[in-house]
């Protein structure tokens, strides 16, 4: 997709009279907050969560809030940057009384053996996967990010950062094509924070709604944020010469208002991006495999050695790269494994709840009959 057509596909944002309009407040959130209006609570959007601190912006200005009343058993339900909340009008810190239901959420699995999800950003419209052009293209990692992005409900976009490092336009065009092949239906935009190339087009896309920047350390996210803001809002670190990896310069998830409209959530570099209930997202990334699978002889074809497998036939014909099929298999296996572990955890939690209710019921009966309960 050309920069011109890409810009045309991204509508401009519109700001209403509400003081939170620049932060994404609209009729949807006004309706969702209506039950709390009569209780004298204030609406606010979470703009920063770091080290137990949570900052919100409200119609009365920025406030620091306490989240002690909202400590869920599931980490995926914890307060996150991008959330909308109902808070007390007074207090320091002010308690959060409720979180409004999320429209979208970017969730990855934690490194915990408990198979839990972690929300990186909430209520996002665009998920921008940042990939530097200073080394080999990590196509498998791009596919992994995009699977989670599609699953989140946001629209993904790949930003190829540091495009000024590729001086040959023919080479740059080939790199863009390689990423487009791994990201069907996703805009791929080369950008340079140094020269400004592609920034106007990217800013036009981000002007409509809330966006989140995702990528590894050293992907150029902080530099890109500074370029989009037109100021040095984020610290920038150099990439290590020894292994080409970046240093963590961003340590919190911050929501920032962009000059051209829209808001942007910058995230720390991600070392691991585990899938979390992303079966539909994987299917979206590998849409061509799903189309081929519909023509397999067996409806439950595993695309391994089955006769009449249209997927394997496409590989043999050179129409489907072996790398794509292997990446698809890997992500599907990982997602199925996480789903199985998550189901086991939920079953265990239900059993504990049943045992607790049974014990409480027997204790109540014992008390009613005047007998001690052991």
pLDDT band at 211 (very low <50, low <70, confident <90, very high): very high
Report residue 16's pLDDT band, with 50, 70 and 90 as the boundaries. very low
Higher per-residue pLDDT: 330 or 270: 330
What pLDDT is recorded for position 123? 97
Q: Is the pLDDT of residue 343 over 60?
A: no
Residue 24: which pLDDT band, with cuts at 50, 70 and 90?
very high
pLDDT band of residue 169 (cuts 50, 70, 90) is very high
Contact 246, 215 (CB under 8 A): no
Note whether 253 and 261 are within 8 A (CB).
no
Q: What per-residue confidence (pLDDT) applies to 238?
A: 47
Pick the range with the lowest mean pLDDT from 84-88, 136-140, 247-251: 247-251
Find the mean pLDDT for residues 66-70. 60
Residue 89 has φ and ψ, to the nearest 5°, of -75, -15
- The mean pLDDT of 29-49, rounded to a whole number, is 93
Q: What is the mean pLDDT of residues 170-183?
A: 96
The residue with greater pLDDT, 87 or 76, is 87
Encode pLDDT of 282-324 as tens digits.
999 999 999 999 999 998 898 988 999 999 999 999 999 999 9
Q: If we measure between CA atoms, which residue out of 51, 84, 10 comes closest to residue 251?
A: 51
Q: What is the mean pLDDT of residues 189-209?
A: 94
What's the whole-number average pLDDT of the chain?
83
Q: Choose from 61-70, 228-237, 342-351 the range with maximum mean pLDDT.
A: 61-70
pLDDT of 67 higher than 70? no
Q: Which has the minimum average pLDDT: 78-82, 102-106, 136-140, 365-369?
A: 365-369
Tell me the per-residue pLDDT of 241-265, one tens digit each, with 9 for 90 and over. 444 444 444 556 799 999 999 999 9
> What is the C-alpha to C-alpha distance for residues 207 and 24, in angstroms, rounded to an integer?
11
Which residue did the predictor score with more confidence, 21 or 268? Answer: 21
Alpha-carbon distance of 103 to 63, in angstroms, equals: 23
Q: Is the pLDDT score of 356 beyond 50?
A: yes
Phi, psi dihedral angles at 302 (to 5 degrees): -95, 0
pLDDT at 12: 44
Prior bond of 93 cis (ω within 30°)? yes
**What is the dihedral sign for C-alpha 312, 315, 320, 324?**
positive
The three-class DSSP label of residue 283 is helix
360 pLDDT above the threshold of 90: no
CA atoms of 191 and 357, how far apart (whole Å): 57
Give the per-residue pLDDT at 340.
74
Dist. CA 129–CA 151, nearest whole Å: 14
pLDDT at 105: 92
């Amino acid at each position: 997709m050309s920069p011109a057509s890409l810009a045309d596909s991204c509508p401009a944002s519109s700001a209403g009279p509400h003081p939170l309009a620049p932060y994404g407040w609209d009729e949807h959130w006004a309706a969702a907050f209506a039950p709390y209006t009569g209780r004298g609570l204030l609406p606010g959007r979470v703009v920063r969560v770091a080290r137990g601190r949570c900052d919100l912006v409200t119609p009365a200005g920025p406030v620091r809030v306490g989240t002690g009343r909202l400590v869920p058993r599931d980490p995926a339900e914890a307060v996150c940057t991008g959330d909308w909340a109902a808070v007390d009008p007074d207090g320091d810190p002010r308690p959060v009384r409720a979180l409004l239901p999320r429209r979208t959420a970017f969730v990855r699995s934690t490194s915990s053996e408990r198979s839990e999800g972690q929300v990186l950003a909430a209520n996002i419209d665009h998920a921008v996967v940042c990939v530097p052009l200073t080394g080999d293209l990590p196509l498998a990692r791009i596919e992994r990010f995009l699977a989670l992005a599609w699953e989140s409900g946001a629209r993904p976009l790949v930003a190829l950062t540091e495009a000024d490092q590729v001086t040959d336009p023919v080479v740059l065009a080939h790199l863009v094509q390689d990423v487009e092949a791994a990201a069907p239906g996703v805009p791929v935009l080369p950008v340079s924070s140094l020269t400004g190339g592609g920034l106007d087009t990217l800013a036009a896309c981000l002007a409509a709604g809330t966006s989140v920047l995702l990528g590894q350390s050293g992907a150029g996210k902080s530099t890109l944020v500074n370029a989009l803001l037109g100021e040095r809002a984020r610290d920038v670190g150099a990439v290590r010469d020894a292994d080409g990896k970046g240093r963590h310069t961003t340590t919190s998830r911050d929501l920032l208002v962009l000059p051209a409209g829209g808001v942007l959530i910058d995230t720390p570099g991600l070392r691991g991006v585990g899938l979390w209930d992303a079966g539909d997202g994987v299917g979206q990334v590998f849409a061509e495999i799903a189309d081929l699978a519909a023509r397999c002889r067996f409806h439950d074809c595993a695309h391994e050695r089955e006769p009449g497998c249209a997927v394997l036939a496409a590989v043999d014909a050179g129409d489907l790269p072996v790398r794509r099929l292997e990446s698809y298999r890997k992500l599907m296996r990982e997602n199925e494994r996480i789903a199985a572990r998550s189901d086991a955890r939920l079953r265990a939690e239900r059993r504990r709840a049943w045992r607790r209710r049974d014990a409480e019921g027997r204790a109540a009966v014992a008390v009613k009959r005047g007998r001690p309960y052991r």
